[in-house]
Amino acid sequence: MNDDQQPNQDDQHEMTNPWPEQSQDESHEDAPSDEGSDNSSEQTSDSTTDAEVTPTEVVEAPTVPAQPEMVAPTEHIAPQPPVLVQPQAPVAGVAPQNPGQGFGIASIVLGVLAIWFVGLPLAIVSMVKSSKVNASKTLGIVGLVLNVLGIFVSGFILMIVLISFQAIQQKAHEVEAASNTAASSSANTITLSQDYAPTSTDVYFAVPASYTGWTMTTIDKDGVNKFTKDDNTATFMTYQGVLSGLTGTDKTVTEKAMGDYLTQLKATEVTGTQSTVSFECMSDKKLLEFETKQVTSISGTTALKGIVAVRMYEGHELSVIYLATADVFSMSEWTSLTSKVQINDGVY
């Protein structure tokens, strides 16, 4: 081998030792305690410089105990303040949601129907809910107005009902009173279908001494009392007498006598005017019923119109006659004249 090819001894000492170096503490522990150890170590170190060191024993590196893994302490995080969510602005072209809309519509419907005791609270709820979201309160306001009007309408209707109810009650009382009066009168009236049996056969009319605007021209002569109107346009007469030859019930003989009476007066019956009228008996305050008919007749060239009332009993006749010129005839005058006439049957 050439000199150029000889390995450099210095380079061998600079080569990296593949074996781990022992620490000074370990070398002290392994070294012998006698003095010869120092000499041998010196010799060994000298020899290693001259020749290549060949390891004859593998020395294991001491096991380093595993260190526990250090965990970094958790960093303390300060609490963050709550995030306030701002309401989003309504999108252009899209109507904002109105929670009071349904209540408002319901209150309007109920207000129209005058169910204000339900509609009024709904209108208030509608306005409150709409106000909370800054929505339109129009429906709630309309419902409120309609329900307030419904209160006034209900009060007006209630007032009309109360007035009508009072009027109906008053009318019912009047009808009841009239019915009672009619029933009492009916019980106290001697009708044509009943036979009149006076306690005395000497029965005659008791007439007033005078009538305003009338003059008494005959006073109880042959059973006749006669009044003549001051302007000679009407006469009023009562008559009591005997009409023999008629038999039967009071109604039968009265109808027969009426026909005979109209023949004597040369009067014509006005069709459909038959009715009844009653005169009070002085003895027992009973009412004696007469049959009446309206008639027409001619006196010379003057047309007359009048009413004839007749009642027959046991062959006796009672009659009342009112005749007036056709232009002055008056039913109210007839009623006024007969209202003051009574029947005196001898017991009073």
What is the CATH number for 224? 3.40.1000.10
Instruction: Out of 154, 189, 224, pick the residue that ends a domain.
Output: 189
Q: DSSP assignment, residue 78?
A: P
Last residue of a domain, one of 145, 164, 189: 189
- Tell me how far apart the alpha carbons of residues 143 and 133 are, in angstroms, rounded to a whole number: 19
Same domain, 133 and 258: no
Collapsing DSSP to helix, strand or coil, 308 comes out as strand
Give me the residues paired with residue 296 across strands.
268, 305
Decide: residue 1, CB within 10 A, 0-12 exposed, 13-18 middle, 19+ buried. exposed
Asked if residue 213 and residue 301 are part of one domain, the reply reads: yes
Confidence of residue 74 (pLDDT cuts 50, 70, 90): low
Q: Which of 45-59, 148-162, 334-348 has the highest mean pLDDT?
A: 148-162
Same domain, 185 and 211: no
Q: Residue 321 CB: number of other CB atoms within 10 A?
A: 19
pLDDT computed for residue 45 by the predictor: 44
Any idea which of 66-70, 274-278, 296-300 has the lowest mean pLDDT? 66-70
d(CA 196, CA 241): 15
Q: How confident is the model at residue 95 (pLDDT cuts 50, 70, 90)?
A: low
Query: Region 132-146: what's the mean pLDDT?
Result: 90
Least confident of 68-82, 170-184, 329-343: 68-82
Kindly state whether residues 166 and 223 are assigned to the same domain.
no
Same domain, 246 and 161: no
Rg of the Cα trace of the chain? 71
**Does the pTM exceed 0.95?**
no
> In angstroms, how far is the first alpha carbon of the chain from the final one?
198
Tell me, yes or no, whether 126 and 244 share the same domain: no
- Domain range for 276: 204-344
What pLDDT was estimated at residue 50?
47
91 or 245: whose pLDDT is higher? 245
Mean pLDDT of 30-44: 46
Which amino acid appears at position 158 of this protein? L
pLDDT at 202: 77
Residue-level pLDDT at 28 = 46
* Per-residue pLDDT, 231: 95
Whether residues 153 and 117 share a domain: the answer is yes
Share of the chain above pLDDT 90, in %: 39
Taking the C-alpha atoms of residue 207 and residue 279, their distance in angstroms, rounded to an integer, is: 11
How many structural domains comprise the chain? 2
Residues 210 and 317 in one domain: yes
* Mean pLDDT, rounded, for 153-158: 90
Specify the pLDDT at position 243: 78
Are 209 and 181 within one domain? Answer: no
Q: Are residues 302 and 172 in the same domain?
A: no
Q: What is the mean pLDDT of residues 229-239?
A: 95
Of 5-19, 57-71, 226-240, 257-271, give the lowest mean pLDDT range. Answer: 5-19
